[in-house]
Chain A
Amino acid sequence: MSTDKTIDRQKALELLRQMLRIRRFEEKTVELYSLGKIRGFLHLYIGEEAVAVGALQALTPEDAIVATYREHGHALVRGTPAGSLMAELYGKANGCARGRGGSMHFFDAARRFYGGLAIVGGGLPIAVGLALADKLQDKARVTACFFGDGAVAEGEFHESLNLAALWKLPVLFLCENNLYAMGTALARHQSQTDIARKAQAYDLPGEAVDGMDVLAVEAATKRATEVVRGGGGPYLLEYRTYRFRAHSMYDAERYRTKEEVEQWKQRDPIVIFEGLLREWKCLTSDDLARMEAAIAAEIADAIAFAEAGPWEPVEDLTKDVYTEAINDQLSALSLSEQKIRKLRDEG
């Protein structure tokens, strides 16, 4: 753990608060899942909170984020209101993607949050393209691309690192190494388990960071971002972290031992950071209680927002498959479909 005691107290409390927000938000989603309010896949970030919270400190609102299906934390820290995220989990029309994506597909154009993309490795080429657009438009922005250790096995990881390095594009490749590609341990799918070293093959800087230490994550990401923003080309960071919960809600966790999970829980990023702040006299029990109460209220409001939200009307099912003009065209052209509907209505 970092020992820089000069940290600003307000800043430190905010880091703790953000990690707690993610933890409590997701704990609540588990309850809501068992109540049937949330369906489909639900991938929890619990245990990995220090990564999103630390990494996003390095970004400005103009920067872009491409994330994965385990992105609740990233969207929360980015500032998408918890209510609109909860509504998305409910599948409601007041969700951040009108309820169409659910847990795996959060989008927020106002905050340059480009998903929520759920094909492992599929977000990396998109990030390369966003960065290319910035370069071609002379914009000094960076694109932060989160992905897991599983993505490292995909060709798109290698293609993307190569192209971004070749064209010196402002991409932060941020690998959240939680040691398991779903149920396959890193050492069982990689001949070289030191992910940061893979950057060498494409001639970009690569660095491994303790992903359970929010301050270390923040410091490393800020350093990397400075290089990228300064025109130094892409950078690969590997955050070594661990997922405390199952891969998704349908996972019997036969691939790892309870002892291993318990061992990692000793390094809980929230517990450790909380202890550190107490040690530094930055945090009192009252502070924490107030923080927890505010978070509980925010989540309660988020649930109320989701509960009150409308379902998208079925008539809007095909809205935004294309932009409006083409939609009109499609409906005008699908004569057989119109005939069928007319018959059904008449019958």
Chain B
Amino acid sequence: MIKTTYREAVRTGLREALKSDPRVFLMGEDVGRYGGTYACSHGLLEEFGPERVRDTPLSESVFVGAGIGAALGGMRPIVEVMTVNFSLLALDQIVNNAATIRHMSGGQFSVPLVVRMATGGGRQVAAQHSHSLEGWYAHIPGITVLTPATVTDARGMLLASVREPDPVFIFEHAYLYPMEGELEEEVGPVDISKAVVRRPGRDVTIITFGGSLWKSLEAADRLAAEGIEAEVIDLRVLRPLDGATILASVKKTHRAIIVDEAWRTGSFAAEVSAQIMEGGFYDLDGPVARVCSAEVPLPYPKHLEDAALPSVGSIVQAVRAMQGE
């Protein structure tokens, strides 16, 4: 085991992907000379050269679309879109092309493309750099949506993704980049189809993903001190969603709460809730609960941003409220 940061784990994943497959190349805004906005690709330009680590203009639509085209043309591009907010400028390429071409062409063409981007709030960067829109992406059939929350997943999901024949979108919570964790040295690609129980428990299931995992685990520790044993599920993969792991846990705990940093209305939390209703209604002792962000554009001042985002306190409170039911 080596101690590493999430950022370094992403970088290790990128480096290993570049080393292991000559078809892999990186492309995006400031991935080369600058080393990546979050320093994830720092040093890779020097190591792999400008053909394989390509700085692009600020033209999200063309460089994501070119990723699709290069994938169609036999390459394995990894495209970095600086943040999920900027990915909106490439939605045409993602929704209309990447997600459709395989099915629409009757299976003739595959798009083995990996797109990485930062997501999430909590860094006081206000309403245009703090979105959590991975739930939107999970709406789209034809793509796979991953939300690595640990250093192992940050590296291993990337390595698994470059082997996929279809487009994979990886959402890295920006708050996690400096986070430290233990990384096994020789672990290659990890599974990208299953949710994982990060903490076993018997009284309530907390279902979460990405940056909210760590808040949920801390909340579970606090709840344990009060005698409430929460099981924490890290979804890891939003599409295809691992419903079986969720339902198995709910069958055991009879209570479910979803922590999702996106806005509540139309959120991925709503989808998880609906699936529990469809598949586990008779296992429930009470209504499914949700902890989501307040329905406001995220404000800049810390006290307001804190109030808008899910917190350890709000998760603890929501779980307590359920126990009274």
Q: CA of A160 to CA of B92 in the docked complex: distance in angstroms?
A: 14
B69/A333 in contact, CB under 8 A = no
Q: CA of A95 to CA of B247 in the docked complex: distance in angstroms?
A: 42
B106/A98 in contact, CB under 8 A = yes
B66/A129 in contact, CB under 8 A = yes
**In the complex, which residues of chain B have a beta carbon less than 8 angstroms from the beta carbon of A156?**
61-62, 65, 92
B70 CB, min distance to chain A CBs, angstroms: 4
Which B134-164 residues sit within 8 Å CB-CB of chain A? 141-142, 144, 164
Q: Mask for A153-177, Cβ within 8 A of B = 1, else 0?
A: 0011001101100110000000000
B62/A160 in contact, CB under 8 A = yes
A101/B107 in contact, CB under 8 A = no
A319 CB, min distance to chain B CBs, angstroms: 7
Which B52-107 residues sit within 8 Å CB-CB of chain A? 54, 56-57, 59, 61-75, 77, 92-93, 96-97, 101-107
**In the complex, which residues of chain A have a beta carbon less than 8 angstroms from the beta carbon of B103?**
100, 320-321
B275 CB, min distance to chain A CBs, angstroms: 6
Q: How many interface residues does chain A have, given as a range?
A: 35 or more
Q: How many interface residues does chain B have, given as a range?
A: 35 or more
- From A47-55, A117-125, A266-274, give the one contacting chain B: A117-125
Q: CA of A93 to CA of B316 in the docked complex: distance in angstroms?
A: 55
Question: Which residue of A128, A134, A319, A330 contacts B107 across the interface (Cβ within 8 Å)?
Answer: A319
A109/B108 in contact, CB under 8 A = yes
Nearest opposing residue in chain B for A110, CB measure: B108
A130/B70 in contact, CB under 8 A = yes
A136/B51 in contact, CB under 8 A = yes
A101/B244 in contact, CB under 8 A = no
Mark B residues whose CB is within 8 Å of A.
25, 51, 54, 56-57, 59, 61-75, 77, 92-93, 96-97, 101-110, 141-142, 144, 164-166, 193, 240-244, 247, 275, 278-279
Mark A residues whose CB is within 8 Å of B.
64, 95-101, 105, 107-109, 114-115, 117, 119, 122, 124-134, 136-137, 143, 155-156, 159-160, 162-163, 166-167, 319-323, 326, 329-330, 332-336, 339-340
Q: Apart from A119-B97, A127-B69, A334-B243, what are 10 other A-B pairs with CB-CB below 8 Å?
A: A101-B106, A125-B61, A125-B93, A129-B66, A129-B68, A129-B72, A133-B71, A163-B62, A333-B240, A335-B244
**Complex A-B, nearest 4 residue pairs according to Cβ-Cβ distance, in ascending order:** A129-B69, A125-B65, A133-B73, A98-B106
